[in-house]
Amino acid sequence: MSQFVEALLLQSGYNAALVTIGAALLGLVAGGAGTFIFLRKRALVSDAAAHATLPGVCLAFMAMVAFGGDGRSLTGLIVGATLSAGLGLYLVEWIARSTRLPEDAAIGAVLSVFFGFGIVLLTFIQTMTAGRQAGLEGFLLGSTAGMLFGEAVTIAVAGCAAALALFVMIRPMTLVSFDPEFAATTGIDVRLTDLAMMALALVVTVVGLKIVGLVLIVALLIIPPATARFWTERVDHLVLIAGAAGGCAGYVGAALSAAIAQMPTGPIIVLTSFALFALSLLFAPSRGVAASLYRHRSFEIRVHRRQGLLAMARGEAIYDHFTLRVLRRAGLMRADGVATAKGLEAADKALRDEARWEIARQTHDEEAAVGRYDGLTPIEDVFTVDEIAMIDRRLRERTGGAH
């Protein structure tokens, strides 16, 4: 535990601190950029891009070796990854546009074929460099053990650039996410904006290769926005919350991985992110599962209370156990089933309101207010005191007329 606290406070060594800060930055940018991917429903396209980085990484390595380098320059590998992921994205778009295959098939095809070809290259490199480790396997699931200062700086610089681009583009991206046609009429180039979104996701992907790995990097783009969606209905808040959730997952996950032996960084960041998601799914106000259950339950109680009161007022017997329980709990009925004074009063009011609504529906038949009749909304919430007084007058006239 103390090791975990130390790691959280960046006290468990230079390398661990670098990784933790890098992961937090990466999570922050991934959450923000992922928000638009999420809103555009392109989540799995970025998975294809992530898997498509592998052949690029391998080819870049081979090219650098061929030109006499040792092939391990992170910048070079990132350039290769970007090129092949870009090609993969283009192919997904091309297949979906110019053949009759649906986009999901294009995604799956690009993902598996690029990855498969990458594996071919990877095994080739393993035999080519027999004896000395190329370390490219680390890009599959991330490997932070031997991160260099220069690599951390590369990640930080790319992360800051992506965050800045995100900040500048936030308005056109928001518009395109919600209403591409309206965005086009306001002079925004929808295709270009879409491209910029994917480019941002691409930057996050290639930068994240070193920390999280290409198999799981898509999780950083998808999970934080899905988490944030439970907490807000506004895009600007969504970006901020998703960024915060992603940054938090990156920070805590990297610290956990530093504190516990044999704990791979990428997967633990993903799991931390998922924990935040699961908590939000269950406990977020209004959109969370617990809140929905509570709403459902309180609606049930209102219905049963209302029906029970009406039955009470009409002197009908109540058999439904739940109704009886609701009435007893509210002190409207005694344990032996006889209405209390408070219950009788409420029952009278329920019956009177029902009659009032009937009048209101006759007199206000074209107004929106009548549409709010659902047998549950108190009539005082819909009509003013004057209106209710008028309704009551009519009610008296009618009952008077009937006698």
Partner 1 sequence: MGTEFVQLSLMPMLIGVLAAVACALPGNFLLLRRQALIGDAISHVVLPGIVVGFLVTGSITAWPMMIGAAFAAVLSVVLIEAIKRLGRIEAGAAMGVVFTSMFAGGVVLLEQSDTSSVHLDVEHALYGNMESLIWLAADGWGSLIDWAALREMPSQAPRLAVVLVLVAAFVFTFWKELKISTFDEGYALSLGIPALALGFALVVVTAIAAVAAFDAVGSIIVIAMFICPPAAARLMTDDLWVQVAWSVGFAVLSAVLGYLLAGYGPLLAGFDHAVSAAGGIATVSGLILAAACLVGPKRKRVGVVREG
In Å, how far are 29, 60, 81, 155, 156 from 149, measured between CA atoms? 20, 21, 21, 10, 10
11 or 112: whose CB is closer to partner 1? 112
Question: Of 52 and 359, which has the nearer Cβ to partner 1?
Answer: 52
Tell whether residue 238 is a contact of partner 1 (CB under 8 A): no
The Cα–Cα gap between 77 and 96 comes to 29
Q: Which of residues 190-219 bind partner 1 (CB under 8 A)?
A: 215-216, 218-219
20-39 residues near partner 1, rule: CB under 8 A: 38
By CB under 8 A, tell whether 41 contacts partner 1. yes
Rounded distance, CA 298 to CA 154, Å? 54
DSSP annotation of 379 reads G
State in angstroms the smallest separation of the CB of 18 from partner 1.
Answer: 21
Nearer to partner 1 by C-beta: 104 or 316? 104
Q: Which residues of 278-313 are buried (b: 16+ CB within 10 A; e: fewer)?
A: eebbeebeeebeeeeeeeeeeeebebbbbbbbbbbb
Judged on CB neighbours under 10 Å (0-12, 13-18, 19+), 33 is: buried
Among 64, 240, 281, 344, binds partner 1 (CB under 8 A): 281
Structure-token pair, residue 318? 């109540």
Which among 164-172, 200-208, 284-292, 392-400 is the span making contact with partner 1, rule CB under 8 A? 284-292
For the CB of residue 141, give the shortest distance to partner 1 in the complex, in Å: 6
> Is residue 111 classed as helix, strand or coil in its secondary structure?
helix
180 touches partner 1 (CB under 8 A): yes
222 binds partner 1 (CB under 8 A): yes
Binding status of residue 183 toward partner 1 by CB under 8 A: no
CB 211 within 8 A of CB 144: yes
Q: Which of 19, 33, 36, 47 binds partner 1 (CB under 8 A)?
A: 47
| Least distance CB 133 / partner 1 (angstroms) | 14
Q: Kindly state the smallest distance separating residue 342's Cβ from partner 1, in Å.
A: 38
Three-state SS annotation for 79-99: HHHHHHHHHHHHHHHHHHHHC
Q: Is the Cβ of residue 112 or residue 377 nearer to partner 1 in the bound state?
A: 112
Site string for partner 1, 324-363 (x = CB under 8 A): ----------------------------------------
Please tell me whether residue 69 binds partner 1 under the rule CB under 8 A: no
**Considering only residues 229, 304, 305, 306, which one is a binding residue for partner 1 as defined by CB under 8 A?**
229
Which of 23, 18, 359 is CA-nearest to residue 204? 23
Contact between 290 and partner 1 per CB under 8 A: no
Distance CA 40, CA 173 (A): 10
Least CB distance from residue 303 to partner 1, whole Å? Answer: 23
Our CB check for partner 1 shows the closer of 63 and 281 to be: 281
The Cα 201–Cα 225 span in angstroms is: 13
Q: Tell me whether residue 204 or residue 226 sits nearer to partner 1 (CB atom).
A: 226
CB-based contacts of 21, cutoff 8 Å, min separation 6: 10, 152, 156
State the binding string over 117-136 for partner 1 (x if CB under 8 A, else -).
Answer: xxxxxxxx--xx-x------
Residue 333, helix vs strand vs coil? strand
Nearer to partner 1, 46 or 174 (CB): 46
Minimal CA–CA distance to 138: which of 122, 150, 120? Answer: 122
Fill in the per-residue mask, 81 to 120: x = in contact with partner 1 (CB under 8 A), - = not in contact.
--------------x-xxxxxx-xx-xxx-xxxxxxxxxx
Tokens of 303: 């219905």
Distances (CA, A) of 202 to 8, 49, 82, 264: 29, 7, 7, 23
User: Which residues contact residue 220 at a Cβ distance below 8 angstroms, ignoring those fewer than 6 apart?
Assistant: 26, 27, 30, 31, 34, 204, 208, 212, 246, 249, 250, 269, 270, 273
> Where does this chain bind partner 1 (CB under 8 A)?
38, 41-44, 47, 95, 97-102, 104-105, 107-109, 111-124, 127-128, 130, 137, 140-141, 180, 215-216, 218-219, 222-223, 225-226, 229-230, 262-264, 266-268, 270-271, 273-274, 277, 281, 287, 289, 292
